[in-house]
C-alpha cells in the first residue's frame, strides 16, 4: 500500500484543489466553533459523554447482553459477527431468505469497513447508497473520503459531469439545486423499487433494546419504511447504557460534525413495524481487542462525528484517500493501525502532533497521545523504516556524549556556510525542497557563554 506521505504529495500536487479542500473543511470547523461556543455547558457535556462511553467500553459484554435481551423482547432478530466476512455473510443470508434483489442503504461506515457493497453485488444483489454524498462516490466507484461528508473532495462541476454521464443530466450543469433535484428523482425511484433497507446505527440503547439513526436527508427513514425488511449494522461500541444518555450525545454529535444543533432526522427504532422484520447485526472486527488495550481503549469512545478530520491540518491538505483506510484522519489512523498495523504503519506519522483533534473531540479521546503511542508500537514491532531507526539511534548516541555533540555542531556550523548551494539543497534534503536552512551562526550558545558570561 502506498504510504501516506506519497499519497499526500500526489494530492497536494494539485495545489488549487488541496487549498479548496482545506478551505471547505475549515469552513465546517468554523461552523462547529460557532455552534459549540453558544453552549456554556459544552465542556461539561464532553466530560459526561466521555464518562458514559468509557463506562460502556469497560462493561461491553454485560451491556451487549442487556441490549440483546431487550431487543429480542421487542421482536428484533439479533446477530453476532466476529469479523467483516461473517458480517457480510449474515446480511447476505437474511437478504437471500427474503429473496431480495434490490437494497437501499443509508450511510453506514460499518458496511464500508466490511466492503459490503462489492460483496452483495458479487452475489447479484443491487445495493444503492441513498445518502447523496455517498451515492456520488458510489457512482464514481470510489469509497467515501470523509465519514460524515463522503464526497467533500469533489467539486460541483465534477458532480455535474458525473451526473451527465450516469444520469443524463444536462451537460455542463453545476447548479447544486438542479443536480440535487435530479439525484432526488432518481433516488426516489430506487427507494420505491427496493425490497429491503440497510442502515447503520449511531446509538444503540442497552436499557431499551432500541437504536437511533441520525441523517440529514431522511434517507434512513424512507429506506426502512417503504419495505418490510430492515437490517441495521452496528459496531459493538455504539452502545449507550440508558435512553436518558441520548440527550448528551445528540447534542454533541451534530454540533461537532457540521455545526448544526441536531441532525435533521434522529430516528428511533424500537422493534419492527407491523408485518415487517427488523434485524441487527453486531460486529466486533477487532473492537474487543481494542477494548482490552489500556492505551487504545478510549478510541472506542468515538461517535464518528468527523470533527477530528475537519480540524486536522494534515487531513485537510492531504485528503481522505491519502489514508487508504475506511476511516481517515486522526481517529482513522488509530483504528487503522489497530486493525492492520503493517499496512497502516505510516498513518500514525501523518500527524504533526498539534493536538487540535484531542481538543475538538466531543468524547475526549486523547487522539494525539494515542497516535504517539502507536509510533512506539510500530517501532517495537520493527515496522519503522531503517533510515528513521538508524538516524534516531545515531542522534541518541551523539546526544549522550556532550563533546561529540559539540564537535559535530561546530563542524556543521563551520562547513555548511562554505558549501555550494547544490550540495546543500539536493534531492536528499527534504527540508530544503521548499524551505531555506537556518543561517549557521559563528558561535553556539555554549561557546558564547564561555566567552562572554562572567561567572558570579
Which range in 81-89, 195-203, 260-268, 388-396 contacts another protein by CB under 8 A?
388-396
> What are the residues whose beta carbons fall under 8 Å from the beta carbon of 47, sequence distance 6 or more?
364
Which range in 15-23, 206-214, 220-228, 245-253 contacts another protein by CB under 8 A?
15-23
Q: Residue 339 in contact with residue 286, Cβ under 8 Å?
A: yes
Query: Which of 101, 123, 376, 414 is in the footprint of another protein by CB under 8 A?
Result: 376
Examine residue 402 and tell whether it contacts another protein (CB under 8 A). yes
Residue 400 grid coordinates: 549522550
Interface residues for another protein in 299-318 (CB under 8 A)? 311, 313-314, 317-318
> What are the residues whose beta carbons fall under 8 Å from the beta carbon of 298, sequence distance 6 or more?
54, 57, 364, 365, 366, 370
Interface residues for another protein in 128-187 (CB under 8 A)? none
Nearer to another protein, 238 or 316 (CB): 316
Nearer to another protein, 164 or 317 (CB): 317
> What are the residues whose beta carbons fall under 8 Å from the beta carbon of 30, sequence distance 6 or more?
259
Smallest distance, another protein to C-beta of residue 171, A: 34
Examine residue 33 and tell whether it contacts another protein (CB under 8 A). yes
Smallest distance, another protein to C-beta of residue 216, A: 23
Smallest distance, another protein to C-beta of residue 151, A: 22
Q: Where are the alpha helices (DSSP H) in 294-401?
A: 307-311, 313-318, 329-339, 356-360, 367-380, 386-400
Nearer to another protein, 182 or 356 (CB): 356
- Rounded Cα distance between 404 and 425, Å, is 25
Examine residue 359 and tell whether it contacts another protein (CB under 8 A). yes
CB < 8 Å & 24+ apart, contacts of 213-216: 213/106, 213/265, 213/266, 213/267, 213/269, 214/250, 214/253, 214/254, 214/263, 214/265, 214/266, 214/267, 215/106, 215/107, 215/131, 215/263, 215/264, 215/265, 215/267, 216/258, 216/260, 216/263, 216/264, 216/265
Query: Which of 395, 415, 419, 423 is in the footprint of another protein by CB under 8 A?
Result: 395
3-state secondary structure at position 280: strand
Which range in 32-40, 146-154, 164-172, 288-296 contacts another protein by CB under 8 A?
32-40
Query: Which of 17, 26, 164, 191 is in the footprint of another protein by CB under 8 A?
Result: 26
3-state secondary structure at position 283: strand
List C-alpha distances in Å: 161 to 4, 13, 65, 374, 387: 29, 22, 49, 41, 45
Report which DSSP code applies to 325: S
Q: Tell me the number of residues near another protein by CB under 8 A.
A: 74
Nearer to another protein, 126 or 295 (CB): 295
Query: Which of 36, 71, 205, 239 is in the footprint of another protein by CB under 8 A?
Result: 36
Smallest distance, another protein to C-beta of residue 392, A: 4
Interface residues for another protein in 336-355 (CB under 8 A)? 349-355
Examine residue 50 and tell whether it contacts another protein (CB under 8 A). no
- Rounded Cα distance between 92 and 73, Å, is 24
Smallest distance, another protein to C-beta of residue 415, A: 13
Share in percent of the chain as helix, strand, coil (round to 5): 55, 10, 35
Interface residues for another protein in 65-84 (CB under 8 A)? none
> What are the residues whose beta carbons fall under 8 Å from the beta carbon of 141, sequence distance 6 or more?
none
3-state secondary structure at position 379: helix
Smallest distance, another protein to C-beta of residue 398, A: 8
Smallest distance, another protein to C-beta of residue 362, A: 10
Q: Residue 71 in contact with residue 230, Cβ under 8 Å?
A: no
Report which DSSP code applies to 297: G
Examine residue 358 and tell whether it contacts another protein (CB under 8 A). yes
Nearer to another protein, 158 or 377 (CB): 377
- Rounded Cα distance between 264 and 266, Å, is 7
Smallest distance, another protein to C-beta of residue 308, A: 10
Examine residue 446 and tell whether it contacts another protein (CB under 8 A). yes
Smallest distance, another protein to C-beta of residue 350, A: 6
Smallest distance, another protein to C-beta of residue 120, A: 36
Smallest distance, another protein to C-beta of residue 456, A: 7
How many CA atoms are closer than 13 Å to the CA of 274, on its beta-carbon side?
0
Query: Which of 20, 27, 407, 448 is in the footprint of another protein by CB under 8 A?
Result: 448
Residue 260 grid coordinates: 448544526
Nearer to another protein, 79 or 251 (CB): 251
Interface residues for another protein in 417-436 (CB under 8 A)? 430-431, 433-436
Which range in 103-111, 221-229, 259-267, 400-408 contacts another protein by CB under 8 A?
400-408
Smallest distance, another protein to C-beta of residue 375, A: 3
Burial of 425 (0-12, 13-18, 19+ CB in 10 A): middle
Amino acid at each position: 500500500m502506498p504510504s501516506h506521505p506519497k499519497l499526500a504529495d500526489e494530492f497536494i500536487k494539485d495545489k488549487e484543489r488541496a487549498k479548496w479542500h482545506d478551505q471547505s473543511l475549515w469552513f465546517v470547523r468554523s461552523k462547529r466553533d460557532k455552534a459549540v461556543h453558544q453552549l456554556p455547558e459544552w465542556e461539561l457535556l464532553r466530560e459526561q459523554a466521555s464518562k458514559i462511553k468509557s463506562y460502556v467500553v469497560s462493561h461491553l459484554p454485560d451491556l451487549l447482553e442487556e441490549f440483546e435481551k431487550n431487543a429480542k423482547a421487542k421482536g428484533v432478530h439479533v446477530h453476532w459477527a466476529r469479523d467483516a466476512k461473517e458480517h457480510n455473510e449474515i446480511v447476505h443470508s437474511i437478504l437471500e431468505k427474503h429473496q431480495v434483489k434490490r437494497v437501499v442503504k443509508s450511510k453506514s461506515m460499518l458496511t464500508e469497513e466490511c466492503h459490503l457493497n462489492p460483496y452483495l453485488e458479487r452475489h447479484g444483489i443491487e445495493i444503492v447508497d441513498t445518502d447523496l454524498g455517498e451515492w456520488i462516490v458510489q457512482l464514481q466507484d470510489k469509497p467515501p473520503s470523509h465519514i460524515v461528508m463522503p464526497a467533500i473532495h469533489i467539486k460541483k462541476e465534477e458532480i455535474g459531469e458525473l451526473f451527465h454521464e450516469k444520469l443524463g443530466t444536462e451537460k455542463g450543469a453545476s447548479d447544486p439545486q438542479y443536480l440535487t433535484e435530479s439525484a432526488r428523482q432518481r433516488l426516489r425511484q430506487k427507494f420505491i423499487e427496493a425490497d429491503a433497507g440497510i442502515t447503520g446505527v449511531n446509538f444503540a440503547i442497552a436499557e431499551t433494546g432500541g437504536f437511533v439513526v441520525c441523517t440529514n436527508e431522511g434517507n434512513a427513514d424512507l429506506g426502512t419504511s417503504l419495505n418490510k425488511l430492515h437490517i441495521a449494522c452496528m459496531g459493538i461500541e455504539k452502545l449507550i447504557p440508558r435512553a436518558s444518555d441520548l440527550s448528551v450525545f445528540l447534542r454533541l454529535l451534530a454540533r461537532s460534525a457540521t455545526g448544526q444543533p441536531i441532525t435533521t432526522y434522529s430516528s428511533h427504532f424500537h422493534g419492527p413495524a407491523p408485518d415487517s422484520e427488523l434485524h441487527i447485526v453486531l460486529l466486533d472486527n477487532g473492537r474487543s481487542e481494542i477494548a482490552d488495550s489500556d492505551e487504545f481503549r478510549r478510541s472506542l469512545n468515538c461517535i464518528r462525528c468527523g470533527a477530528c478530520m475537519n480540524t486536522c491540518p494534515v487531513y485537510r491538505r492531504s485528503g481522505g484517500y491519502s489514508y487508504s483506510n475506511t476511516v481517515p484522519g486522526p481517529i482513522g489512523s488509530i483504528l487503522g493501525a489497530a486493525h492492520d498495523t503493517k499496512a497502516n504503519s505510516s498513518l500514525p506519522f501523518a500527524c504533526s502532533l498539534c493536538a487540535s483533534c484531542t481538543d475538538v473531540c466531543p468524547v475526549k479521546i486523547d487522539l494525539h497521545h494515542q497516535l504517539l503511542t502507536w509510533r512506539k508500537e510500530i517501532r517495537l514491532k520493527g515496522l519503522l523504516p531503517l533510515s528513521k531507526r538508524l538516524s534516531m539511534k545515531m542522534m541518541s548516541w551523539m546526544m549522550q556524549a556532550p563533546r561529540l555533540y559539540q564537535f559535530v555542531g561546530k563542524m556543521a556550523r563551520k562547513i555548511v556556510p562554505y558549501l555550494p548551494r547544490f550540495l546543500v539543497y539536493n534531492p536528499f534534503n527534504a527540508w530544503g525542497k521548499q524551505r531555506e536552512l537556518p543561517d549557521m551562526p559563528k558561535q553556539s550558545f555554549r561557546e558564547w557563554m564561555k566567552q562572554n558570561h562572567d561567572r558570579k
